Structure 1
Amino acid sequence: MRRFAASAWLGALLLAGPAQAQGQTQEASGVSPLDELTAALRQARTRAARGTVDVSVFFPPRAVPTRTARALPAVPFRPGLIAQHFRVTRAPAPATVAGRDVTRFDLVPKVGQAARWTLWVDRAWNVPLAFEERMPGGTLARRAAFSAVGSELARVQAGVPPVPPGLRAAVLAALPGLRFPPGFTPTAAGPRAGGGLEVTLSDGANVLALVLAPRDVRAAPGVVSRRVGSGGGRRFVWLVGNLPDAPLRSALAGVRGVEEARLGTLLASPDSKGQ
């Protein structure tokens, strides 16, 4: 019996050895999938590939979902929020995009029902060459991937503006009773061209639009609204984005007033959003 137990114990050690060694190597190098992805997203703020990109958008629905472009569509990824709200893993299997070697990264939300993402990052250039956004059930929301790519990276300015200090507290004060969907936090606020205000909510990858408007919005997938007040003080609050109906409605269910003045100087001008 002792001989059998010792043999089993030794076998377990042999089986566990490679996995333990792999984990130790990763810890020793200090480079995690999140670290690698963060470096790539930061690199993409100043360098980007150019070529032919096939872009397909299925949410929101549109008559012609597919088009071509010269570059990947801009997505305001925020690595700091990604670290807080997503589990990031790196696929071990090799892959290629447009004939170039890439590493695949999968981003799965830690909480809530937000969309999950996959990015394919060029191993030599360290910039994304493709991405996918999928709804919680796995349905493809949008995809963009290079089918042909140039020989050099282009210089770009694709920085993401910092979050104004105090914005979260100001939004909660402006909309008493508001509950942010799990994982989301305000990252920007500004006036809308059609009147009212718009607050951007982000979890690092996904973006929702929280709108304060004088008029209601037509119901549609990914769109909910709530009327607040009456008479001349009546306002409408919309929440729009790639989330199921239930969490969108839950976020607005307790809103009992609108006090736009609470946002004060935190409102960015329309021209400053892309800086």
Structure 2
Amino acid sequence: MVRRAAALLGALLAVSLPVHAQATDADDLIAALKRARTLAARGQAEVTVLFPPRAVPTRVAAALPALPVRPALLLKNFTVVRAAPQTVAGRDAVRFDLTPKVGGAGRWSLWVDRAWNVPLAFEERRADGAVVRRAAFLKVNAAPAKVALTVPAAPAGLRAALTRALPGLTFPPGFTPVGVRPRAAGGTEVTLTDGLNVLALVIAPQDVRGAPGVASRRVGGAFVWLVGNLPDDTLRGALAGVRRVSADALGTFAGPGDSNP
């Protein structure tokens, strides 16, 4: 009787006490990406960039290109799913597939070392599946190296200032402005991101040649460009409603922030 009562009490406690949530696939990926700010694999990597087009799209590097990941935006805008374990450069890795929750932004896959918990490879694709960028280690050193990577915080009030500078601008789904810099050729460039994909919004005194992934529009005496891995109709639609250009509204945001979100 005593044993039966103890078992019943244990069952009741198990039902009534809160259960701690287990880490999701997205949590595991974010942990690896945050770790990559202080620790990174080194060795021989092959990096291929197909957008924007270049004469020699593939090069060899000692490290993967840094990804300016913003965890809060990534969690908000992407569905993350863990795939079957795979091998990269002879090491056991876990692949994470990232799909935008809305819009036609780039899809990503990232391969994370199971022991080191740092990226070994990544791939960016268009919504139709075409590869845009790919980077993967062919060989890795015996141990990862210490690094110090930061992503500047988005300046407070930047979105409102950009709306004043380009009234009628439509932000592509999931994207928000996070930085502004002056261009050497004249004009201003604003960086937009959804946490992983990056767009360049440019206010310039001259036009840009049309190409896939590039939209431009003349507004008064200035030109506005939007460049990035989005369907062309989405890029054009973002600029279609712009009524005027007042770049002075962005003047106080030309310097990047110092901290990481």
**Is the shorter-chain TM-score for this pair beyond 0.5, marking a shared fold?**
yes
Partner residue, 1:259? 246
Q: Is the deviation greater in 61-70 or in 137-146?
A: 61-70
Is 1:239 the counterpart of 2:226? The answer is yes
Look up the equivalent residue of 1:253 and give its one-letter code: A
Alignment of 1:8-157 (within 5 A): 28=20, 30-91=22-83, 93-157=84-148
Question: After TM superposition, where is structure 1 displaced by more than 3 Å over at least 4 residues in a row?
Answer: 272-275
Instruction: Please list, as runs of the form range in 1=range in 2, the aligned pairs for 1:203-218 lying within 5 A after superposition.
Output: 203-218=194-209
Amino acid at match of 2:98: L
Aligned residues: 242
Q: Look up the equivalent residue of 2:148 and give its one-letter code.
A: Q
Deviations 1:131-158 (A, max 9, x none): 0001101111111000100011111121
Give how far 1:69 is off. Answer: 0.4
Q: Per residue, is there more helix in 1 or in 2?
A: 1
Deviations 1:218-255 (A, max 9, x none): 111111111111xxxx0110101111110000000000
Provide the secondary structure at the position in 1 that maps to 2:163. Answer: helix
* Equivalent position to 2:218, from 227, 247, 250: 227
SS in 2 for 1:221: coil
Within 1, Cα distance between the matches of 2:134 and 2:195?
18
Deviations 1:93-152 (A, max 9, x none): 221111111111010000000010000001111110000001101111111000100011
Q: How does 1:152-191 map to 2 (within 5 A)?
A: 152-191=143-182
Aligned amino acid, residue 267 of structure 1: A
The alignment's TM-score, normalised by the length of structure 1, stands at 0.85
TM-score, reference length from structure 2:
0.89
Structure 1 residue 63: deviation in Å?
2.3
Could you tell me which runs of 5 or more consecutive residues in structure 1 were left unpaired when the two chains were aligned.
Answer: 1-26
Q: What secondary structure sits across from 1:252 in the alignment?
A: helix
User: What letter corresponds to residue 173 of structure 1 in structure 2?
Assistant: R
Residue 30 of structure 1: CA displacement? 2.1
In structure 2, runs of 5+ residues without a counterpart are 1-18
RMSD: 1.6
Identical counterparts, % of pairs: 63
